[in-house]
Structure 1
Amino acid sequence: MSSPYVPQIHRYQAWLHEQRGLVFADYDALWRWSSTDLAAFWQSVWDYFDLQSPTSHRAVLEGDVMPHVRWFSGAQVNYARQVFRHVARAEAAGQPAIIAEDELGRVRTLGWHELQRQVAALAVGLRALGVQRGDRVAAYLPNRIETVVAFLACASIGAIWSVCAPDMGTAAVLDRLRQIEPTVLIAADGVHYGGRPLDRSTTVRELRAGLPTLQHVVTLRTPYAAERVADTHDFTALVDRDDAAVHAFEPEWLAFDHPLWIVYSSGTTGLPKPIVHGHGGIVLTSLALKTLHNDIGPSYDDNSFGERFHWYSSTGWVMWNAQVAGLLGGTTIVLYDGSPGGRKDEPDWSVLWRFAARHRVTFFGAGAALYGNAMKTGVDLAALQAAGYDLSAIRALGSTGSPLPPDVQRWGSAQFERVHALAGRSRDPTALPGGPGGPVWWCNISGGTDFCGAFIGGHRGLPQVPGQMQCRQLGCAVEAWDENGRAVTGQVGELVCVRPIPSMPLYFWNDEGHARYLSSYFDTYPGVWRHGDWLEVRADGGCVIYGRSDATLNRHGLRMGTSEIYAAVEALPEVLDSLVIDLEFLGRESFMPLFVVLRPGLTLDEPLRERIRDAIRRALSPRFVPDAIEQVPDIPRTLSGKKQELPIKKLLLGQPLERVLNRDAMANPQCLDWYVAYAAERSKSAGTMAA
């Protein structure tokens, strides 16, 4: 008989006791130690996961005032080296590295040895194209095996990776990639999404024309392109190479803070922020998050479930990075390339559940909206179970991107009670959630692209309360601050992190004097990270996120700056001005209205609404099509001409006008009556629906 499963965080605590002599009365005591004695905690993470370096580090942490700190100075690491430490044991156990399926049902499985060979082949190929340490390699790729291979190949040679999803329009991609001046572009010439083949060859040509620093384009050729993109290298030919140079290849040792990738998080004005993260910080915090908090262990370990980790994401969301990070801990990752809701004309929110059943997924993660859509459209997991789609391997449900409403969490828990009953699984009332005999475990997390991690997350040993996240993450000194900058419990405040963590940005690309970096996170509270979320820390340590405290759009887990919406909408000749607001409500679906000022004499009708929607789809993504489009007399602006997004957002969320706006500071206060009336109407209709 196998020994009882021990949660990963409990194994870590036992190690702390044995190796450090540390004993903690409860999780709160452990968290307080980890978030105050940063050097001791992060050194323990390094040692617990036995991270390797050919040189020793001088100190765990140098400096203490964010963002002017350095971690593990003198140490050398490489993200890809950490991944490939698991090859021998995973292969011996017969566990694959990656399982991938597309929406046509085509399944591919890649073993650890073959993943290592393909990464080496592409790394050798990129070097032959002249790619060196510090060069930026841009990608325009979907969520496929090839994208993981390309990323790891770049990491192996110290190139800096940056990927955009093929559902983004040319303008949005160029706004990102032009800033980082890539030398190589790796791009798919087509995708299959929402039941349709989509030719992307024209977009690839436009990207090449719009990126003057490109020296080479590598094309992932698909059946969906009308014609091949000329004068490019064939991705498949590069990874098929298998010779002495490939066999001899090893990932380079790099400084702990060598740049790993550039991701993008949009603000309310200007271009998307090109955020640079380092190899060491990402490896360290990813292992702490995935293993200790998300309880995702190596697939080959006896103290495991034959772990298979899936988190639905496009490559344009930071959860793609989080999904790939499962490889750092020796976990099989399970990828889905396609629409989670089936075809647009025939929506089907059971697609991912059937996929998870086919591949025996153990940890199933998605944006909160996916669970809400499944509930609203009547997805019946027990019926799927009865029909032969065995979902009983799923022990944990991960959620992020927006607050998960309590009724949705209760729905999911009840669904899995029925699944387990149909699977004949005996119920153990003493078992922890997510363990043998226990109920399904909800691992609800909240973090961000900005630091590629989570501030708040899960712990299998703590109570599950629908609508609440279980705890603040180890090593994250997170607090809710009131308007006076004081930490509060039991009331909503600004989410801040008062001590550094290793995965915070190294810098923004091409940000002279770190001006944009500092203004993004440290303007409000110097030396303290202000994240832009409303947070309540409850007396039991549980946490609730109440949405964004700034005006960044957050749609289904993807963030986009309002300026990008304006650029697309105001390019239409009929539109003079616009304002977009993303309203997130606890326990209700988010609502994003777009307000437009039209040229004199024009009236907003359905054909114009559709042209506006289409402009957003083409320039940005279908995910950012607004829920409503309204014609307004004017857009509220300050005396200096800035759109007043945050005050209008607060007004529409129910705050009184006099608390959110100063008419004397406005250029056009006469327009406010329209918005006050609209807010009242929205509040009335919401109250009617709630009743």
Structure 2
Amino acid sequence: MTTEGALLWTPGAEFVADSNVSRYIEWLARERKLSIDSYERLWQWSVNEPEAFWGSLWDYFTVESDTPYRQVLDRRVMPGATWFEGARVNYAEHLLRRERIAPDAIVFQHLTETRPLATMSWAELGRQVRILATQLRRIGVRPGDSVVSYMPNVPETAIAMMATTAIGGVWSSAAPEFGVRTVIERFSQIAPKVLFACDGYRFGGKDFGRSNEVRQIVDALPTLEHLVWLPYLEATATLPDEPKLVSWRQLLDHEDIPREQFRYERVAHDHPLWVLFSSGTTGLPKAIVHSHVGILIEQLKSTCFHVNLKPGSMMFFYSTTGWMMWNALLGSLLQGASVVLYDGSPVHPGPDFLWALAARTRATNFGASPTFVQMMEKAQLKPGTAFDLSALEAILVSGAPSTPETFAWFYRCVKADLWVTSQSGGTEICSGFVGASPTLPVHAGEIQTRLLGMNVQAWNDDGQAVVDEVGELVCTTPFPSMPLYFWNDEGGRRYHESYFDSWPGVWRHGDFIKINARGGCYIYGRSDSTLNRHGVRIGTAEIYRAVEQVPEVADSLIVCCELPGGRFFMPLFVKLKPDQVLGDSLLGKIAARLREDCSPRHVPDRVYAVEQIPYTLTGKKMEVPVRKILMGWPPEKAASRDAMMNPDAIDWFVRFAAESRDYQRN
């Protein structure tokens, strides 16, 4: 095993000097007369002086506004802080600024399991956005109207998002693999006027038609006035007898509107940009509303300083349109960077497909989840040997806690000189709290740093900041990408309960975090799935790292159930590799590994073999729903099957809860 915190990589002097962080520090010295000589001091200044920091970004990135803002921040309060009041900006306008400078340069390289690799220029992207935006205006979309999408990760979906936000519409997206109930639960909350939809998608070489699902969705959305139909699987696919239908081709079959003549709808500081939804695995998904100005300034910061993107960068992050990483991926355009869009299975036709695509597209930045890395390792792949990855500079791992072994695998099997980063945040902020800086070294399993402007701390139960101890991830200073509000949240009650109930005025994110003396960070899983053994809180990521090092174990999930009399029961569920049996020998091996790598408190009360571990559609283990089922919740209230990657996996736990009552008396 790789030792947690072991030094794996140090950036060279040239890499540091050429980084966006270093250029910003130079700009601050020149334009603001600030003497800052390290990232740590830059971070400290950014959280001590949030008005000065975020205001400097407005100037550094030359944000375009119809009117000047009256103040950067009205009050340092959460919730309720107001950012850049008086400004009028448009997010899509800033995404497309590169078109003015390099119209013929490539902005998208895109392919699917049904379409070959193709490219799109900035000029073509801008042309289609302007045409579609004009047609949306013509059919009645006005600022503040909701426009939703049930489309794959293809340029048309990105164009629809930009066209919607260009005219002040409010965007929201669901991936076509989402079930009808999941989509309706989301979209019915926001009363959409227009739906973009496709006839289906292909995954792993198999076609999945969606015409019937689209009909059901349309029928369930009474506010819908128009259905924009994209034949994706079949060029001739239609929805007959649908009076609201208009084809994608019809809307785009118009003359270009010259860039100089097109009018972006520049909107107020509190105008909604898009609505993102929580996973919805336990109840109605939260409809999280973000603003143009908040997401714009946050993504300008994150893509520049924490992903180090520049004109000429090629960003490739495997994502679907139902995950906030799709929104974050398109934010790469703010730096003039190009993006690889891929829709399909990450392991079809072979487990190394994404690496082949990264090599083919000359990706400079590659992103995926830790689960993907585990698949690569188990398949014994060595992409650095098999493919030309000479253009690759950086790795971005997101979606779940990363282990030291994940980091080490990249250096061993991909490239020795590589900036491997892990970043963690959430849908609620459409960005990260902790992540990377190109000026810092990489340590095994360690997230390099807290992100600029994010006053992140680890707090114990008494609300005291701790170092080198696991605590609650909190943010004590407002930041622009906080949600404006939750849609249809009367008085902001649900918003407040989600983040500010524990400590008034302090954002509690719901993750366990440890921050060490050098500022490195470790995420230990969700604190709402707390493992509590004899008063000691344990992060689930610690368990998984140890258990999944046992050769016979393919995957695992652990929960802790409160029992009468103040007792706890902590079962571990393991998916075994083929032909393995959970006997006394393997049970002993699992217990020994947990004692040795973690502590005796980490050893579960019982271990059970299961066929599958349940995951959400975004690849997160469903610890909280499983715990609720074991605690007696009705299955339909504990977990939405439509929000699951593998819905059948939850059935085992439902049966277990009904049939195995002996565990409650343990």
TM-score by length of 1: 0.76
User: Do the aligned residues in 1 keep the contact of 2:113 with 2:205 (CA within 8 Å)?
Assistant: yes
TM superposition shift of 1:249: 2.1
Structure 2 match to 1:199: 209
AA at the equivalent of 1:151: M
Cα separation, 2, equivalents of 1:392 and 1:41: 36
Cα separation, 2, equivalents of 1:100 and 1:462: 32
Cα separation, 1, equivalents of 2:174 and 2:445: 32
Alpha-carbon distance change, 547 to 99 in structure 1, aligned in 2, over 3 angstroms: same
Deviation per CA, 1:570-607, whole angstroms, max 9, x where unpaired? xxxxxxxxxxx987745355634799xxxxxxxxxxxx
Deviation per CA, 1:103-152, whole angstroms, max 9, x where unpaired? 34611211111111100111111112111111100100110000100000
Cα separation, 2, equivalents of 1:582 and 1:268: 18
Structure 2 match to 1:275: 288
Structure 1 match to 2:631: 636
Structure 1 match to 2:373: 371
Structure 2 match to 1:26: 38
| Residue 87 of structure 2 is aligned to residue 85 of structure 1 | no
User: Do the aligned residues in 1 keep the contact of 2:544 with 2:557 (CA within 8 Å)?
Assistant: no
| Residue 175 of structure 2 is aligned to residue 130 of structure 1 | no
Cα separation, 2, equivalents of 1:203 and 1:137: 18
Structure 2 match to 1:308: 314
Structure 1 match to 2:353: 351
Structure 2 match to 1:73: 85
User: Do the aligned residues in 1 keep the contact of 2:135 with 2:251 (CA within 8 Å)?
Assistant: yes
User: Do the aligned residues in 1 keep the contact of 2:147 with 2:172 (CA within 8 Å)?
Assistant: yes
User: Do the aligned residues in 2 keep the contact of 1:124 with 1:246 (CA within 8 Å)?
Assistant: no
Structure 1 match to 2:222: 212
| Residue 26 of structure 2 is aligned to residue 9 of structure 1 | no
Alpha-carbon distance change, 98 to 245 in structure 1, aligned in 2, over 3 angstroms: closer
Residue of structure 1 aligned with 2:128, choices 105, 112, 118? 118
User: Do the aligned residues in 1 keep the contact of 2:153 with 2:341 (CA within 8 Å)?
Assistant: yes
Structure 2 match to 1:411: 409
Cα separation, 1, equivalents of 2:339 and 2:71: 34
TM superposition shift of 1:349: 2.2
Structure 2 match to 1:261: 274
Cα separation, 1, equivalents of 2:141 and 2:628: 53
Structure 2 match to 1:322: 328
| Residue 464 of structure 2 is aligned to residue 499 of structure 1 | no
TM superposition shift of 1:240: 3.1
3-state SS of 1:516 partner: helix
User: Do the aligned residues in 2 keep the contact of 1:459 with 1:470 (CA within 8 Å)?
Assistant: yes
Aligned pairs (5 A) from 1:453-602 = 453-551=431-529, 585=543, 587=545, 591-592=556-557
Cα separation, 2, equivalents of 1:193 and 1:107: 16
User: Do the aligned residues in 2 keep the contact of 1:197 with 1:224 (CA within 8 Å)?
Assistant: no
AA at the equivalent of 1:400: S
Aligned pairs (5 A) from 1:243-258 = 243=256, 248-258=261-271
Alpha-carbon distance change, 29 to 158 in structure 1, aligned in 2, over 3 angstroms: same
User: Do the aligned residues in 1 keep the contact of 2:277 with 2:288 (CA within 8 Å)?
Assistant: yes
AA at the equivalent of 2:150: Y
TM superposition shift of 1:549: 0.7
User: Do the aligned residues in 2 keep the contact of 1:475 with 1:501 (CA within 8 Å)?
Assistant: yes
Cα separation, 2, equivalents of 1:46 and 1:625: 38
Alpha-carbon distance change, 142 to 68 in structure 1, aligned in 2, over 3 angstroms: same
Deviation per CA, 1:45-75, whole angstroms, max 9, x where unpaired? 1111111112111100012110111000000
| Residue 663 of structure 2 is aligned to residue 674 of structure 1 | yes
Cα separation, 2, equivalents of 1:7 and 1:174: 44
3-state SS of 2:100 partner: helix
Deviation per CA, 1:592-624, whole angstroms, max 9, x where unpaired? 4799xxxxxxxxxxxxxxxx999x99xx85968
Cα separation, 2, equivalents of 1:185 and 1:242: 23
3-state SS of 1:587 partner: helix
User: Do the aligned residues in 2 keep the contact of 1:191 with 1:224 (CA within 8 Å)?
Assistant: no
Structure 2 match to 1:49: 61
Cα separation, 2, equivalents of 1:195 and 1:154: 32
Aligned pairs (5 A) from 1:120-199 = 120-199=130-209
User: Do the aligned residues in 2 keep the contact of 1:546 with 1:586 (CA within 8 Å)?
Assistant: no
User: Do the aligned residues in 1 keep the contact of 2:197 with 2:214 (CA within 8 Å)?
Assistant: yes
Higher RCO (CA 8 Å, separation ≥ 6 residues): 2
AA at the equivalent of 2:219: A
Alpha-carbon distance change, 499 to 672 in structure 1, aligned in 2, over 3 angstroms: farther
Deviation per CA, 1:158-210, whole angstroms, max 9, x where unpaired? 00000000111101111111111111110011111111121111111111011
User: Do the aligned residues in 2 keep the contact of 1:583 with 1:591 (CA within 8 Å)?
Assistant: no
Flag structure 2 segments of 5+ consecutive residues without an equivalent: 1-13, 531-538, 549-554, 561-609, 640-656
Cα separation, 2, equivalents of 1:371 and 1:143: 21
TM superposition shift of 1:279: 0.4
TM superposition shift of 1:336: 0.9
User: Do the aligned residues in 2 keep the contact of 1:120 with 1:247 (CA within 8 Å)?
Assistant: no
Cα separation, 1, equivalents of 2:120 and 2:401: 34
| Residue 246 of structure 2 is aligned to residue 233 of structure 1 | yes
Cα separation, 1, equivalents of 2:458 and 2:665: 30
Alpha-carbon distance change, 275 to 622 in structure 1, aligned in 2, over 3 angstroms: closer
User: Do the aligned residues in 2 keep the contact of 1:140 with 1:188 (CA within 8 Å)?
Assistant: yes
Cα separation, 2, equivalents of 1:624 and 1:226: 37
TM superposition shift of 1:293: 1.3
TM superposition shift of 1:90: 2.3
Structure 2 match to 1:342: 348
TM superposition shift of 1:223: 3.0
AA at the equivalent of 1:486: Q
User: Do the aligned residues in 1 keep the contact of 2:525 with 2:540 (CA within 8 Å)?
Assistant: no
Residue of structure 1 aligned with 2:398, choices 388, 393, 400? 400
Deviation per CA, 1:74-105, whole angstroms, max 9, x where unpaired? 001101111222112223xx521111111346
Alpha-carbon distance change, 51 to 222 in structure 1, aligned in 2, over 3 angstroms: same
Alpha-carbon distance change, 177 to 28 in structure 1, aligned in 2, over 3 angstroms: same
TM superposition shift of 1:417: 3.5
TM superposition shift of 1:229: 1.0
Q: Percent identity?
A: 41
TM superposition shift of 1:383: 3.6
Cα separation, 1, equivalents of 2:357 and 2:64: 36
Alpha-carbon distance change, 372 to 643 in structure 1, aligned in 2, over 3 angstroms: closer
Flag structure 1 segments of 5+ consecutive residues without an equivalent: 300-305, 419-438, 553-580, 596-611, 645-667, 678-691
3-state SS of 2:144 partner: coil
User: Do the aligned residues in 2 keep the contact of 1:635 with 1:643 (CA within 8 Å)?
Assistant: no
3-state SS of 1:97 partner: strand
TM-score by length of 2: 0.79
User: Do the aligned residues in 2 keep the contact of 1:201 with 1:226 (CA within 8 Å)?
Assistant: no
Cα separation, 2, equivalents of 1:624 and 1:173: 19
TM superposition shift of 1:257: 2.2
Cα separation, 2, equivalents of 1:676 and 1:110: 62
Alpha-carbon distance change, 441 to 238 in structure 1, aligned in 2, over 3 angstroms: same
Cα separation, 1, equivalents of 2:529 and 2:183: 21
AA at the equivalent of 1:350: D
User: What count of residue pairs does the alignment treat as equivalent?
Assistant: 564
TM superposition shift of 1:634: 8.6
AA at the equivalent of 1:78: N
TM superposition shift of 1:263: 0.4
